[in-house]
Structure 1
Amino acid sequence: MLLYCLRRMAIGMLMLIALSLLVFVLLRLAPGDPIDAYINPNAPLSQTEMEMLRARLGLDQPLPVQYLSWLWAAANGDLGFSIQRAGVRVLPLIGERIGPTLLLMLTGLALAIVIGIAAGVVSAVKRNSAIDLGLGVLAFVGISSPAFLTALLGLYFFAVQLRWAPSGGMLTPGALFSWGDLLSHLILPSVLLSIGYAALIMRYMRSSMLEVLNQDYVRTARAKGVKEFWVVTKHALRNALLPVITLIGSIVGVAIGGAIFIESVFDWPGMGLLMVNAVETRDYPVIMGGTLVIGAGVIVVNLLTDLTYAAIDPRIQAA
């Protein structure tokens, strides 16, 4: 298992380097000169001053040298300084935004997992019933709804029209911190974030449960007189969870994209909003650093998913 973990970590590092290289190349292929992001349009520089600035930033070097310099600095924990926030280092800036994003994502994913698994089990047990049909329709709507549309509709109906929740932010401006205030701001965006993922988990869970419920050992348990509740929860549910666990691991990466829309619509001070603002202002160090941190998080989650998969099913050997 230790060798497996080390091998997966090595592969993850290579994937992280490839991701950073891809983002670096795409940023350089974007229209415009990177030096433009450093220049105040109200105070244009002379050609000589621009060349001096370009040399100071290392932008006069060949692209491979620029990338390797950035990679070496990143490996030593230096992601540079933000262009739009003078004197602010990228790593502490990202550190301030990770907490709110993790809070939103973990809450949304927790809701999606609980609701999706429970709905999938009920739908499988009540196969071809009105409950199964109703849950299937809701799952279809949830899967088909884009994150930005769900966020905008949820904001309009529940925050603007019904006023059941605040319309944005993480805390009420000017108010003292309280868990109740934080929860009131968290409920709506986390629920909206969970909708599509809960629907996807529900469909996978239903399909997996239907397959497991038709296995011989389940029929044997019923023939022995085991109560249906224990047949479903003890004998069927554990094996049916295996493909769902893999799905949940892959959802984490997708959830980052959904969180970007949610954070933008609700002005949630997390990584998504930071990355959107960085792209709009062409803050290259923040874009590169944010991509590196997000990619590392996805790789770690995928590794934990594989280990959890092997731990739940003893028949699986890490290879």
Structure 2
Amino acid sequence: MLSFIARRCATGLLMLVALSLLIFVLLRMAPGDPIDAYINPSVPMSASDLETLRDRLGLDQPLPLQYIGWLRAALSGDFGYSIQRSGVQVLPLVMERIGPTALLMGMGLAIAIIVGIAAGIYSAVRRNAWPDIAMSVLSFIGISSPAFLTALLGLYFFSVLLRWAPSGGMQTAGAPFSISDVLAHLILPACLLSIGHAALIMRYMRASLLEVLNQDYVRTARAKGVREFWVIIKHATRNALLPVITLIGSTVGIAIGGAIFLESVFNWPGMGLLLVNAVGTRDYPVIMGATLVIGVCVILVNILTDVAYAFVDPRIQVA
């Protein structure tokens, strides 16, 4: 197990390097000169001043040397300084946004996992009955709804029309911090984030459980007189969870994309809102730093997903 984890971590490091190289190249391929993000257009600068600034920032070097210099500094924990926030280092700026994003994604995925697995089990047990048909229709709607549409509709109906939840932010402006206030602001975006993932998990859980219920060992357990509840929960559900675990691990990256839209709509002070603002202002160091941190989180979750396989199904041997 330890050697497997070590190999997966080594693979993850290579993926991070490839990701950083891809983002670096794409940013340099964007229209315009990167130096434009560092200067105030209302303040005239001579050609010599521009060359001096370009030399100080290392933008006069070839792209491979620029990337190697950035990567060397990033490995030591130095992601540079934000362009739009004078004197603010990128790494502390990114790290302080991880907590709100982790809270939003954690709550959203927890709701999606609980609701999706429970609905999938119930739908498989009640196969072709009206609850199964109704949940299948709702799941297709949830899977087909894009994150930005779900966020806007949820904000309009539940915050503007019904006034059941705050319309944005992480806590009430000017009010003292309280857990209940944060939860009041969290519940709506978390539920909206969970819709598509819960629908997808429900479909996978239903299909996997239906396949498992036709296995010989399930029929044997029923023939031995085991109660149907324990046949479903103990014998069938555990083996049916394998594809669901794979799906949950892969949805983390998708959830980050959905969180970017939700944080923008609800003004949630997380990584998504930081990244959107950085792209809008061409804050290249913040884009690179935020993307790399997001990549680390996604790779770590995928490693944990692979490790969880062995605990869910002992038949799986880690080579």
- Which residue in 2 is equivalent to 1:250? 250
Measured in 2, the distance between the counterparts of 1:67 and 1:143 equals 39
Secondary structure of 1:275's aligned partner: helix
Measured in 2, the distance between the counterparts of 1:120 and 1:87 equals 51
Note the residue ranges of structure 2 that are not aligned, 5 or more in a row.
none
Amino acid at match of 1:113: I
Measured in 2, the distance between the counterparts of 1:44 and 1:122 equals 68
What pairs up with 1:86-165 in 2 under 5 angstroms?
Answer: 86-165=86-165
Deviation at 1:5, TM superposition (A): 1.0
Q: TM-score scaled to structure 2, two decimals? A: 0.99
Measured in 2, the distance between the counterparts of 1:279 and 1:44 equals 24
Amino acid at match of 1:145: S
1:251-271: CA deviations, max 9, x gaps?
011100000000000000000
Secondary structure of 1:3's aligned partner: helix
Measured in 1, the distance between the counterparts of 2:179 and 2:269 equals 17
Over the residues paired in the alignment, what is the CA RMSD in angstroms?
0.5
**Residue correspondences, number:** 319
Measured in 2, the distance between the counterparts of 1:12 and 1:211 equals 33
- Which residue in 2 is equivalent to 1:78? 78
Deviation at 1:187, TM superposition (A): 0.4
- Which residue in 2 is equivalent to 1:42? 42
Q: TM-score scaled to structure 1, two decimals? A: 0.99
Measured in 1, the distance between the counterparts of 2:42 and 2:184 equals 42
Runs of 4+ in 1 over 6 A off after TM superposition: none
Deviation at 1:42, TM superposition (A): 1.1
Amino acid at match of 1:262: L
Q: Confirm whether residue 63 of structure 1 aligns to residue 63 of structure 2.
A: yes
Amino acid at match of 2:230: W
Q: Confirm whether residue 235 of structure 1 aligns to residue 225 of structure 2.
A: no
Measured in 2, the distance between the counterparts of 1:44 and 1:112 equals 53
- Which residue in 1 is equivalent to 2:189? 189
Deviation at 1:44, TM superposition (A): 2.2
Measured in 2, the distance between the counterparts of 1:204 and 1:226 equals 26
Q: Confirm whether residue 51 of structure 1 aligns to residue 51 of structure 2.
A: yes
Secondary structure of 2:184's aligned partner: helix
- Which residue in 1 is equivalent to 2:272? 272
Measured in 2, the distance between the counterparts of 1:71 and 1:259 equals 27
- Which residue in 1 is equivalent to 2:292? 292
Amino acid at match of 1:257: G
Q: Which moved more, 1:4-13 or 1:162-171?
A: 4-13
- Which residue in 1 is equivalent to 2:218? 218
Measured in 2, the distance between the counterparts of 1:136 and 1:121 equals 12
